[in-house]
Structure 1
Amino acid sequence: MSVTAKNDRKVCRAYFGKSYQHPFNKPDDFGGADIKFPSKKASIYYGWVIALLGCLTVLGAHGFGRFAYPLLLPYMQRDLNLNYFQMGLLATGNFIGYLIMVVAGGVLASKYGPRIVISASAVLMGASMIWTGLSSQFEHIFVARMLTGLGNGGAYLPSVVLPSIWFPSEKRGRITGMVVSSASLGFALSSVFVTSVLSAYGMTGWRYCWHYFGVTLLVIAAADYLFIRNKPESLVETERAEGSSKGESDAYSPFKWNLVYRNRNVWFVGLLFLAFGLAYSIYLNFFVAYLQALMWPENIIALIWFMIGALGILSGFAWGWLSDVLGRKFSIFMAFSTLFTAFLLSTISPITHGLYCSAILFGISMSSIPTVAVVTAGEYVAPTLRSTAAGFVTSLFGVGQLIGPALGGYIIDSTKVFSYSFLIAAICSFSGLIGALKLKNPKKSENMGIKILLYFYPYFLNKLERLHGCTKRFYSATSIETV
């Protein structure tokens, strides 16, 4: 290696830290810990196993535990003679459990590790789903649905956050988006599966669906417990060395958790997430009713809903990749701009083409903020507190989802006009659009282009020097000496 290349490596070590290794290892962005990312010789990086388990858990927790419920509810109503108030209570119980655990789950994952929290929550979900299928009394089903919500919140959030510890910052958005998009895949699979089971078993088919979903969650829980690792080995060794001097309990003390709740940037991301949750829930709950009020055919409405779900499968990964390339701040701005356009079209354009465009734009951006906001909040704090930060901002997202349907329904009942509720959603998205401009970029996202250039500069310089040497030898071998 040339002297110039060696000097350039020294420059990069001064920029990145003493633990800089080129071209496949680099220090973590927090604390200088040297996390070993995949090298050329590694066959399969274990972080991909963590990401795959996250996809399976989110698919089961959200896709089967949450999105399958509206499909089964009409059959449960007829078989159990439930009224609409009781149906609403079942949905409320599930959401209350989810909202409680989405906060507590992040804190518990930070203290006891994601592996225990994810696997235990998946077991709780599986057992409560089986109980739902066995129950015939409203009170028992209500408790079972609340337990399912608790398990959903505890399994979903740590599964989304955990891959961010295993991958460098320039890949976290894409990996998180891939995991989040598994919920949309679960939605599509559950719709096909529920239709098949109900056609085979008739009125009591909803019980078999809950049994199958419960057994699936128990299998996923076993896989999570066996194969999930909380963090890379190199980071464990670094924290163990630090823990011997600072004390083991200090890493998870309440004073450390206050670093999340007192962080203004985390609060700002949470408020943006709340605005998204309010607007998102209004559109999601009343768009189909709006199309039915316009006398659209049921098959067309079903096709539009399937299209939204299909676009949502790619939405999370696409927005995660965009946030890695263009930065978190600009990605949040673009996401709110797309959502604002979708909601505004549903407000001012009751014609067919306008509503089609509205549905397409919503499907493209429905997983955008849930992907980018969780990653952004985690990058404002230390790695051990990322689950807590993600749980905090997701709880504000839940508050928005709690307010949105009630507010939108009240406006529709009072005015008999759907467009006014969509206008509220558009206003919330516009406020998020403006707020994104005020958002402070995480330190990881600042000067990313410079970091990439410095990172790969010695590698490309070495290649150029070798090419220059080959060129000189070629011309010296083919040159004609003149007398």
Structure 2
Amino acid sequence: MIRNIKTRHMILGLLCAMYFIAYVDRVNIAVAAPFIAKEFNLSPTELGFIFSAFAYPYLVMQILGGWLADRFGPKKILLILSLIWGLATLLTGFIGGLITLVIMRVLLGVGEGGAFPTATRAMTSWMPKSSRGFAQGITHSFSRLGGAITPPIVLAIVYYAGWREAFIVLGVISLLWSLAYLLLFTDTPHQHKTITPAEIEEIGEPARKNKASGKTPWKDMISKMWLVTFVDFCYGWSLWVFLTWLPSYLKDDRGFDLKAMALFTTLPLLAGVIGDTLGGVISDKLYIRTKRLRFARVSVLSLGLFLAFLCIMPMIFIRDPLIAIVLISACFFFLELTNPVLWSLPMDIAGKYAGTAGGMMNSGFGLAGAISPVVFGFLIQTTGSYTLPFLISGGLLLVGAIAALMIDPNRTVREIAERPVDYQYKSRTTPAFAMGISSGHKR
């Protein structure tokens, strides 16, 4: 069994640990929020701004972090980023009020903002094309697993020590991961001491991708990634709502006590872990069986968003708290089914520019994070209800499901750059699915 573990599997495990830790550090604020709000007498609107303080630098760092990883390699960039967010988490345990808490959240957003695009660039070199969906799925499964275990872990530390101690412990763990990453990771398989020629051959073309050189094809990348970015925004709106407001929703609207809140905050996130894993596996299996990349990606992406929409709408109006939890969990499962597909698209489309493309896509997620927690909190405070905020989330899921049908990962950045001018003009004015039908090519 151990002999079957390849160097790339070890690298993937290291990245899984990073995704796990990053999400623990990201969502711990939502679990601790009721206790922080009580200590500093914070309103729902102020809590919304605290949640969003993370998202503003997170948004800015998406493209910048991915571009830096393309230029200077993921090892150096991710090491710096992980040190920043680890220190920010640790220092949150020493805040003195609203302003210092916002500062720590901003630093956390800087550190984590470029992490996932940088990791995507790393996976582009280390993972064969047929395993990209699985790699993105399993790493994001670990991120949701981190989010799922955060409520009981943080609440346990809060119960026995305090909310400040929770941030200190988690910050130390983050810094220990940075040390492991420094010792074990290399930018490319060729640089790793334990890699074998046979495994390099198994990885194939991605193993030969090094740092991007020359001018970044921004125009081509924007034309190919803008729709993916918009769909990621629609996905991200609901995810940010769940990650930031779910504990408060269960406590204030559904009337759960501390123990019930810990349990029922965890269940939807565990459903997301399963969704993340299955989404990547299903997409890869569809691609291997049909050789139709577009079908393998778009079918899972669009259907997942639509089914999430079908779950969130009745949840809004059903008063039975247990049925509501089941619907929230189902919504989160289908929502997360789409996540590995979204993160596979920059790898499919941009190749050695996957870091930049991944950051461009995830800027939609970051923008949603900058807006949705504040809007959600404002609407709760002004309407006294969670109904309208959740209706907006459901509407965006439906819009995203429809928009996803227009995405075509076969039209890569390189292909667009090399096409004749007249073909590029046609591709900009003709929907991707219409071009696929008229050409008769497999998608």
Larger Cα-atom Rg: 1
Q: Give yes or no for contact 1:171–1:324 (8 Å, CA) kept in 2.
A: yes
Distance 1:323 1:443, change over 3 A: farther
1:83 corresponds to 2:47: no
Distance 1:141 1:430, change over 3 A: closer
Q: Give yes or no for contact 1:161–1:386 (8 Å, CA) kept in 2.
A: yes
- Equivalence for 2:277: 317
- Equivalence for 1:52: 13
1:68 corresponds to 2:12: no
Q: Which whole-Å CA distance do the structure 2 matches of 1:95 and 1:206 have between them?
A: 22
Distance 1:318 1:256, change over 3 A: same
- Equivalence for 1:95: 55
Task: Tell me which moved more, 336-345 or 352-361.
Answer: 352-361
1:369 corresponds to 2:326: no
Identity of aligned residues (%): 21
1:341 corresponds to 2:275: no
- Equivalence for 1:378: 347
Distance 1:139 1:437, change over 3 A: closer
Q: Which whole-Å CA distance do the structure 1 matches of 2:105 and 2:253 have between them?
A: 34
AA matched with 1:322: I
- Equivalence for 2:301: 332
Structure-1-length-normalised TM-score = 0.72
Q: After the TM superposition, which segments of 4 or more aligned residues of structure 1 sit over 6 Å from their partners?
A: none
- Over residues 227-267 of structure 1, what are the superposed CA-to-partner deviations in whole Å (9 max), with x where a residue is unaligned? 11222226698567xxxxxxx9xx33443344322x33x11
Task: Tell me which moved more, 51-60 or 69-78.
Answer: 69-78
Q: Which whole-Å CA distance do the structure 2 matches of 1:356 and 1:140 have between them?
A: 34
- Equivalence for 1:454: none
Q: Which whole-Å CA distance do the structure 1 matches of 2:343 and 2:125 have between them?
A: 13
1:206 corresponds to 2:163: yes
Q: Give yes or no for contact 2:229–2:362 (8 Å, CA) kept in 1.
A: yes
- Equivalence for 2:213: 252
Structure-2-length-normalised TM-score = 0.78
Distance 1:171 1:443, change over 3 A: farther
The CA RMSD measured in Å over matched residues stands at: 3.1
Instruction: Return 5+ residue gaps in structure 2 as ranges.
Output: 191-199, 287-295, 413-432, 434-443
- Over residues 117-167 of structure 1, what are the superposed CA-to-partner deviations in whole Å (9 max), with x where a residue is unaligned? 111111112222233323435544432331122111233332245224322
Q: 2:363 aligns with which of 395, 407, 420?
A: 395
AA matched with 2:230: L
- Equivalence for 2:189: 232
Deviation, structure 1 residue 441: 4.2
SS of the residue 2:349 aligns to:
coil
- Equivalence for 1:7: none
Deviation, structure 1 residue 98: 1.9
Q: Give yes or no for contact 1:72–1:206 (8 Å, CA) kept in 2.
A: yes
Q: Which whole-Å CA distance do the structure 1 matches of 2:136 and 2:147 have between them?
A: 18
SS of the residue 2:391 aligns to:
helix
SS of the residue 1:92 aligns to:
helix
- Equivalence for 1:274: 233
AA matched with 2:315: S
- Over residues 313-350 of structure 1, what are the superposed CA-to-partner deviations in whole Å (9 max), with x where a residue is unaligned? 22211111111123101110221122111122224544
Deviation, structure 1 residue 290: 5.6
Q: Give yes or no for contact 1:283–1:425 (8 Å, CA) kept in 2.
A: no
- Equivalence for 2:264: 304
Instruction: Return 5+ residue gaps in structure 1 as ranges.
Output: 1-39, 241-247, 447-483
Distance 1:292 1:133, change over 3 A: closer
- Over residues 63-93 of structure 1, what are the superposed CA-to-partner deviations in whole Å (9 max), with x where a residue is unaligned? 1x111122233444455x3533654543333
Q: Which whole-Å CA distance do the structure 2 matches of 1:60 and 1:317 have between them?
A: 17
Q: Which whole-Å CA distance do the structure 1 matches of 2:143 and 2:265 have between them?
A: 15
Deviation, structure 1 residue 376: 1.4
**Counterparts of residues 435-450 of structure 1 (less than 5 Å):** 435-442=403-410
AA matched with 1:439: I
Deviation, structure 1 residue 193: 2.8
- Equivalence for 2:81: 121
- Equivalence for 2:324: 355
The count of aligned residue pairs is: 389
AA matched with 2:272: G
Q: Give yes or no for contact 1:342–1:357 (8 Å, CA) kept in 2.
A: no
Distance 1:323 1:283, change over 3 A: same
Q: Give yes or no for contact 2:56–2:366 (8 Å, CA) kept in 1.
A: no
**Counterparts of residues 460-475 of structure 1 (less than 5 Å):** none
Distance 1:321 1:424, change over 3 A: same
Deviation, structure 1 residue 105: 1.1
Q: Give yes or no for contact 1:127–1:214 (8 Å, CA) kept in 2.
A: yes
Deviation, structure 1 residue 301: 5.0
- Equivalence for 1:106: 66
Q: Which whole-Å CA distance do the structure 2 matches of 1:353 and 1:75 have between them?
A: 25
Q: Give yes or no for contact 1:273–1:393 (8 Å, CA) kept in 2.
A: yes
Deviation, structure 1 residue 295: 5.0
Q: Give yes or no for contact 2:188–2:207 (8 Å, CA) kept in 1.
A: no
